[in-house]
C-alpha cells in the first residue's frame, strides 16, 4: 500500500528543531487517520505573517503513540524518521 502524504504547518521554532534532527516526534490531533509509514511534509509557517516561508522537510512516520493513558484522547504522538528507506 502506498503511504499517504500529509502536508502540515509547523511554526519556525519547531521546524528548525525537526530539520536539525533535535526534534524527532510530532504531537498532532489525529484528524487525518495517520498510519505507520505515512509521509509528513512539514512546511515552515510564520503565524505572524500567516504565510509559508518556502522551507519544508519530509519525514516518515516510524512510530505512533495514541494510548489515552499517555496522550490526550483524539491526539497522537508521531515518531519521525528522516532516512530514505
Coil, strand or helix at 15: helix
User: Average pLDDT of the chain?
Assistant: 95
- CA separation for the pair 40, 79 (Å, rounded): 11
What are the structural domain ranges in the chain? 5-81
Helix (H) or strand (E) holding 52: strand 51-65
pLDDT at 85 over 70: no
Q: Which residue has the cell 534532527?
A: 21
Coil, strand or helix at 42: strand
pTM score, whole prediction: 0.90
User: Domain 5-81 in CATH: superfamily?
Assistant: Hypothetical protein. (2.30.130.30)
Amino acid at each position: 500500500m502506498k503511504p499517504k502524504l500529509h502536508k502540515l504547518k509547523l511554526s519556525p521554532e519547531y521546524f528548525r528543531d525537526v530539520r536539525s534532527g533535535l526534534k524527532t516526534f510530532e504531537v498532532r490531533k489525529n484528524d487525518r487517520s495517520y498510519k505507520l509509514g505515512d509521509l509528513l511534509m512539514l512546511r515552515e509557517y510564520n503565524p505572524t505573517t500567516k504565510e509559508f516561508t518556502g522551507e519544508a522537510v519530509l519525514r516518515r512516520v516510524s512510530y505512533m503513540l495514541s494510548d489515552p493513558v499517555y496522550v490526550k484522547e483524539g491526539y497522537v504522538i508521531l515518531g519521525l524518521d528522516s532516512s530514505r528507506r
